[in-house]
Structure 1
C-alpha cells in the first residue's frame, strides 16, 4: 500500500496505510469485489493462536471467513447484523476444526474489524487482544478494550476469540464518521505508539512507525463520508421530541429565532440566525398536528434524507446539525434571498415570454436532475419554486417525493389536487409524465398571471388569458397538460427542447389579428341598404 491512491467505495473515500509481519493478518476488502457494493469497505486485523502451531493460518482463516460472511449476508440485513452473523458462522467453523483436526488444535484468533457501508455510520467489531483507536480533533479515543485475563504468573490469557468457545461474543461500536477522522487498527499497543498518532504522519508512515517494533498496524484516513441512509436519519430523529414552535426572539439550540416565513397545517418556516456557525438560516419546524399524521411524519423524514443525499444546485440545501446540538425535531436550510413563484404571480405585469421561458428552462433542468437521482418530486407548483435574486431557482419541499429507482414504491396519493395528473386519481404511479402535468399547470399559471387552465367543465387555452404571447407557447403548455399521458411530453428534456426550438425558430409575437374598426358595422349596414334600394328599383320596373 506504499503511496497508494485513495480507495473509494459506497460513497467513502479513504487513504490507507499498512505495515507488519506475517504473524498478524491484515486486509482491506471492497464489497463490489464480493458482489455487494453497498457493503462498502471492510478493514481488519486478525492475530492467531494455536496449540497445534498454526497461528498464521488461524489469523487468515478467521479474517477470510468473517469477510466472506459479512459480504455474503442478505442485503436486507443491517451492517451490524451482517457482521454479527458472519462472526457466528466463522466461530462455528473454527471451533469445530480446533477440536477435530490435530494440526489445528486449539486454533483461535483475535479480530478487530471496521466496516464502512453505504451509510455515514461506521461499525467496529472486536474480540480478543487486537484493538481500534479513533483520532478526532487531536484527541485519541480508544474504541475497544482487550479481552484478556491476568494469571498469577503475570501472563495473560484470552477470554474471547474466534474459535475459542462454542459461542463468540464480540464488542460492537457504532459511530458517525466525519471527514478528517483517522481510524487505527493495531495488533498490539504501547504508550510510545499512541504518542505517534498525534504527529500528523501520512497513513503509510504512521503504519510503519506503529509496526516498527513488532506487530501490525492498519491506518485509515477518512477523506469523504457516505451520504446518510434513511435509517441514519431515522435513528438521528427517533428520540427527538416535537415541541411547540419557538417564538420570535427565542433561542433554540444556538439559533436565534426571527419572523415566520410560512405556516402550513403541519409545518412552520422560521427565519433564524445561527449563532454557532454565524449564518442566516431557515428552520422547518413540525407543528403538533404532524404527530397525528403518519404520512407527514414519514414525509418529514424523507425530506431530510433526500436533502442530504440528492445534492443538486436546483434543490434547497439541507444543513447538517450535529446530533448532540439538537434538542428537538426540525430541519435547517440556508436563507435564500428572493421569492417564491407563487409570490411572483401576485405581481404585475405577468411574466413576459423571456422571463417565463428562463424560469421554465430552469425548471426542466431541475426536474431532469432529480430524475437522474431517481427522485420524483410529486408536488411541483409555484409555491414550491423559489426564485433566487441571482436568477437561479430552487425546488422546495421534498416531503412527498417518491424514489422508484431506489426501491421505494409509494401508493399514497401525493401532491396538490389542482396540479395532479388525472391518472394519479385512478391509482397510476407517479413518474416523468405526471411531473410534466404539474409542470404544465405551473407554467400556465406563471404566464397567465395566476389563472388555472381548467374550469369545472372546460379547458382554457393560454391565448384567452394572454393573447400577446405566441401560439406555439400555448401549444407546448397544452401538450404538457393533456389528459392522455401518452400525448404529453415524455420528460422534462422533451419539453425544454420544444421550448428552445420555439424561441429559436418561431415568432416571439402573437399571431396577427385584424384590428376592430368601429365604423365597420355602419359600412355593412350602408351596403345592405344600397343593395335593397337597387333591388326595389329593379322590381318596380
Structure 2
C-alpha cells in the first residue's frame, strides 16, 4: 500500500493487475505522488491504461500513455492549472503514440484506453478516453465518473476513441469536490465487464485497505469469468487540506437561513432528536446522521439574522479554525459532503457530558482537585489556539464542555480572531461582557492577554459562582476596582490559588501572567510551589479544652463575686 502525507493532503493507494486468460498482460497501472519538491497544487496522479487488443504494441502503448502522461503533467508549470496541465500532457502522449504506430512496423496501429484521476488540494480531476473507468464511493453510494467510448454492446462492442487512433485526441474531462473518506476505483474493462456495480460497491464498502480491496476486486473479476486482463487501482482520501476562507465564504453565502426546524423533522439526511439549547441568535439540536448513524449537534441561526453579515462571518470563522486546529481540547466542526447541505447550519460531534455552566448549577461545589484539573485543561485548550495564531475572544463556562469520560472541549469559535480572516467591525465588541478584559471596552480587538483574563474569570466563577468585578450588563461601561478575593467566598481554598487567579484577572494587562500556559502551570503546581503552610501557635482551647473551660468558669465566678461585693 502506498501513502502520501503532507500538510495538505493524505492519500492511501493500492493496486492489483492480473493477465487472466490472456497470454500476456496489456494493462498498465501507475501512481505518482509527485517528484521531490513538487508543489501541493500538482497533487496525486493515478492512472490505468488498457492496450487495445488486436493491435501490435498494446502493452507498449499502455505503458507509454501512463508514463508520458505523468512525466508531462508534473513538468507543466503549476500556474496553468490542473486541467490544462493534464490536457497538454495527454495530447502530447497521444501524439507520440500515434507517431510511433506510423513509423515503427512492430508497433503498427498501437493504441490504448486511458483513465486518470488527479487529486489536488480539495478537488479531484478526471481525464478519460476509451472504456477503462473511474468510480467514486462516498456516503451517497457508488458513482461512475466516466462514460465508455464504445459502439455496440457485449461481444460486438468496439472502441470509438482511444489514444493512438488519431493525432487529434478527443477525451473527456471533469472535476468534482473531494470529501473526507472518498474512495476511488480506476479499473480496466476486464473488471467492470465481469462485475456489476452492486458487487463493486459491496467490496469497496468493506473499507479494507486499498491494497486488499484492489486484490479482492481483481480476484472476484477472474472468478466471475473475465476473459480479459483485470486491473484495479483503489485510492482512499484519508485527510484533506483545510478550505481557504474565500471558498468557505462563497459556500456559506450560497446557503439560505430559514426558520428553525422542529424536533422529529428529517433535514438533509439528519433526524432531529431534541433541543440542546436555545439562544437569542441560534438553536442547538441533537441529531442522528441517517447515513452513518453518528450523533451530531447541529447549530441553526435564527431567521432574523438572515441579512446579518456578522453572523455569517461567525460561521466562516468557526469552520476555518476548526479545519486548521486539531487538538483533544478543541471542539470539531464536521465537514459535510458538497451538495448535501440545503440551508445554513454547522455540524459538530455530539459530546456526551455537560457544560461547565451546567456543572456550576449542581451540588456539590467544584472542589480544589476537580477545579485544578478543569483549569489546567482549559488553559491548554486556549494555549493551543494561541500557538495557531487564533484568539478565542469568548472563553466562558457556557463554551467549555466537560466530557463524561473526563476530557474537556473548548467550543464556539464564532467570534475568534485569526490570521487571514476578516474581523468584526470596530463597533461590534466580540465576546460576553462579564468575561471581557477592561482593554476590550476601550476598543482593543483582543489578544492572548484578553483571553487569559477571560480564562481567569471563568475559573473564578467556577469556584465561587460569582464574578470578580460583578456582573457586567451589555452596552454598559463597567468600572474595574479591586476584585473580591476568592478566599472571601471560599475559605476552604488555598491562598496560592487566590493569588494566581487575581494575577490572571488583573486590570492592567502588564500585571497578568506572560501567557495562559504560565497561568495553567501555576494552577497545576501551585500547592507544591507554595510550600507548607506556616506554623501557627495553637490556642489554649485547641491544646487543652478542659483547662479552657475551667479557666473560663473561674473567671466568671470571680466576676460574679466582684459584682455582689459592689452591691
Q: What TM-score, normalized by structure 1, do the two folds share? A: 0.71
Residues 325/436 of structure 1: CA separation in 2 closer, same or farther (3 Å cut): same
Q: Secondary structure at the match of 2:127?
A: strand
2:501 equivalent among 477, 483, 495: 477
- Gaps of at least 5 residues in structure 2 are 19-23, 204-211, 471-477, 540-567
Q: Which of 520, 533, 544 does residue 496 from structure 1 map onto?
A: 520
Answer yes or no: is the 8 Å Cα contact 1:241–1:327 preserved in 2: yes
Per-residue deviation at 1:246?
Answer: 2.5
Q: 2:451 aligns with which of 425, 435, 444?
A: 435
Give the aligned partner of residue 303 of structure 1. Answer: 318
State the distance in 2 between where 1:82 and 1:67 align: 11
CA distance in 1, matches of 2:12, 2:186: 12
Is the 2:131–2:159 Cα contact (8 Å) retained in structure 1?
no
CA distance in 1, matches of 2:282, 2:193: 53
Q: Tell me if 1:19 matches 2:17.
A: yes
**SS of structure 2 residue aligned to 1:269:** strand
> What residue is the counterpart of 1:362 in the other structure?
377
Offset, 1:286? 1.0
1:226 aligns with 2:240: yes
The 2-side partners of 1:353 and 1:240 are apart by: 46
How large is the RMSD of aligned CA atoms in angstroms? 5.0
Q: Secondary structure at the match of 2:194?
A: helix
Q: Give the Å deviation of 1:301.
A: 3.7
Report if aligned partners of 1:345, 1:450 keep a CA contact under 8 Å in 2: no
Q: Which residue of 2 aligns with 1:386?
A: 401
1:133 is displaced (CA, Å) by 3.0
**1:169-184 alignment to 2 at 5 Å?**
170-174=172-176, 176=178, 179=181, 181-184=183-186
2:431 is matched with which residue? 415
Select which of 61, 73, 76 maps to 2:78.
73
Cα offset, 1:420, TM superposition: 4.0
Return the alpha-carbon distance in structure 2 between the equivalents of residues 499 and 45 of structure 1.
59
CA distance in 2, matches of 1:61, 1:365: 51
The CA deviation string for residues 68-89 of structure 1, in whole angstroms up to 9 with x for no partner, is 43xx514xxxxxx832121344
Q: Is the 8 A contact 2:392 2:451 kept in 1?
A: yes
Counterpart contact for 1:281–1:332, Cα < 8 Å: yes
Provide the rounded CA distance (Å) in 2 between the counterparts of 1:57 and 1:441: 67
Structure 1 pair 502–319 and aligned structure 2 pair: CA distance change class (3 A):
same
Contact 1:134 1:143 in 2 (8 A): yes
- 1:218-367 matched pairs, under 5 angstroms: 218-222=232-236, 224-226=238-240, 229=243, 240-248=255-263, 252=267, 254-259=270-275, 261-264=277-280, 266-271=281-286, 282-304=297-319, 306-307=321-322, 310-318=325-333, 326-333=341-348, 335-336=350-351, 338-345=353-360, 351-367=366-382
* Aligned-residue offset at 1:287: 0.8
Q: Contact between 2:182 and 2:237, CA under 8 Å: does it hold in 1?
A: yes
Aligned to 2:544: none
Instruction: Give the one of 115, 119, 143 matched to 1:116.
Output: 119
Judge which range, 295-304 or 176-185, deviates more.
176-185
Aligned to 1:532: none
In structure 2, the CA distance between the partners of 1:420 and 1:35, relative to structure 1 (3 Å rule), is farther
Contact 2:460 2:486 in 1 (8 A): no
Match of 1:60 among 67, 76, 79: 67
Displacement of 1:293 in angstroms is 1.6
Tell me the TM-score normalized by structure 2: 0.68
CA distance in 2, matches of 1:361, 1:35: 42
C-alpha separation in 1, matches of 2:469 and 2:140: 62
- Residue 203, structure 1, aligned to residue 210, structure 2: no
Change (3 A) 1:358 1:15: same
Deviation at 1:193, TM superposition (A): 6.1
Cα displacement (A) at 1:183: 1.1
Q: Take 2:259 and 2:36, find their aligned partners in 1: how far apart are those partners?
A: 50
SS of the counterpart of 1:158?
Answer: coil
After superposition, the C-alpha distances for 1:111-156 in whole angstroms (9 at most, x for unaligned) are 422133443x543332455432346799764321134679xx9964
> Matched residue of 1:192: which SS?
coil
Q: Residue in 1 aligned with 2:128?
A: 126
Hey, what's the Cα distance between the residues in 1 that align with 2:412 and 2:139? 35
Matches within 5 A, 1:23-34: 26-31=29-34, 33-34=36-37
From 460, 468, 479, the equivalent of 1:444 is 460
After superposition, the Cα gap between the structure-2 partners of 1:38 and 1:461, relative to the gap in structure 1 and judged at 3 Å, is farther
Structure 1 gaps of 5+ residues are 75-80, 516-541
Q: Distance in 2 between matches of 1:510 and 1:456?
A: 36
How far residue 26 of structure 1 moved from its aligned partner, in angstroms, is: 3.4
